Amino acid sequence: MSEIYGNPSSLHEKGYLAQKEIEKAKQKIARVLNVNDESQIYFTSGGTEANNLAIFGSVNALKKRGNKIITTAIEHSSVYSVFKLLEKEGFNVVYLKPDIYGKIKEQQIFDAIDRNTILVSIMMANNELGSILPVKKIKEMLRRKNSFALLHVDAVQSFGKIPVNVKEINPDLLTISAHKIHGPKGVGALYKSKKVRIVPRIVGGEQQDKVRPGTESVPLIAAFGVSAEEINIEKNYLHAKKLKEYLIESLAFIDGVEINSGFDSLAYIVNFSLKGIKAETMINYLSSRGIYVSGGSACSKGKKSRVLKNVGLSDERITSALRVSFSKENTLEDISELYKAIKEGMSNLVRY
């Protein structure tokens, strides 16, 4: 911000230096995604904007060729709300129904695809339950069904945590966000295959091939690049797995704990319900002890979780559901403290 403050679109040297920072960040992110040509990375203001751009952009490009769009009932609101809007506009939307752990079967996706389908948008890992969805086979399914539909993958929760390999998934569009990998909030990116054309959501200047015009936020983008460079999936995953196993084993000693995440969910997320205690009561109690956990998704601010409802959990279990997310910086001592605090909370807090 203080040294490389030029406008990346300017022709003078300060502009050139800023543009170089953007290119460096693109290369760092492309490397993690296993993308050869980094010009397929477009920066946005976050995962929400990238999801909106991918979905509206695809549908607006293909709406003359079909009317059916496919997603799941447990997408992040930045995907789900877009589909709800498109449904109101007359699109035939299929919301694939997950099982109780938030998993979707490959067969469900295959069966939903038909000649009228123009878009399949499915998340790679769910942000509330940590379930991992079978996105790797979708492109092959589209090919087998002779479908020209585009594939969009919301990889915000999986990027940097498990391999998100563009060559393997072969998506047309894929969303990532910096603040899930220890980068700053307010910056994300959309991978868009060179072969695909989408209609931009914003019009303006010539930046980013007009796919996402507007002067790029160079400091946020540069920081995003650095956090991508620091990703160490294997080391961090094993660490998170240890923390998760320790927490689940400890919680087994407390009466009234029900684990909502599946056994094969992402190592970084555990969702569980505490019988009789409202989530916000426990969140406040833990917060007063310097332990910060979530209820539903951070974006829903205390509303009952749609995701947990759509996997079929009871109202009682949803009301008392907590989501603990781990980072590479958490320790086993943190988990012990969390366990002790929950145990105490369960005996001291008022039940509803």
201 φ, ψ (degrees, to nearest 5): -90, -25
CB 192 within 8 Å of CB 55: no
Site for ligand PLP in 115-134 (CB under 6 A): 123, 127
Residue from 54, 82, 156, 342 touching ligand PLP (CB under 6 A): that is 156
Nearest distance from residue 83's CB to ligand PLP, in Å?
A: 13
Nearest distance from residue 174's CB to ligand PLP, in Å?
A: 11
From the list 238, 298, 299, 332, the catalytic residue is 299
Nearest distance from residue 145's CB to ligand PLP, in Å?
A: 26
Q: How many helices (H) and strands (E) does the chain have?
A: 12, 10
Nearest distance from residue 158's CB to ligand PLP, in Å?
A: 8
Site for ligand PLP in 71-110 (CB under 6 A): 76, 78
Site for ligand PLP in 163-182 (CB under 6 A): 177, 179
In order, the DSSP letters of 75-138 are: --HHHHHHHHHHHHTT-EEEEEPP-TTS---HHHHHHH--TTEEEEEEESB-TTT--B--GGGH
Let me know if 183 is a catalytic residue.
no
- Residue the block writes with tokens 């477009």: 42
Size of the site for ligand PLP (CB under 6 A): 14
Site for ligand PLP in 285-344 (CB under 6 A): none
Q: Which is it for the CA torsion 231, 237, 238, 241, positive or negative?
A: positive
**Strands across the sheet containing 321-325:** 257-259, 269-274, 321-325
119 φ, ψ (degrees, to nearest 5): -150, 140
**Residue of minimal CB distance from ligand PLP?**
47
Q: By CB under 6 A, tell whether 157 contacts ligand PLP.
A: yes
Q: Which residues contact 290 (CB under 8 A, 6 or more apart)?
A: none
Q: Residue 48 or residue 117: which is nearer to ligand PLP going by CB? A: 48
Binding positions for ligand PLP, rule: CB under 6 A: 46-48, 51, 76, 78, 123, 127, 154, 156-157, 177, 179, 188
**Positions marked catalytic:** 299
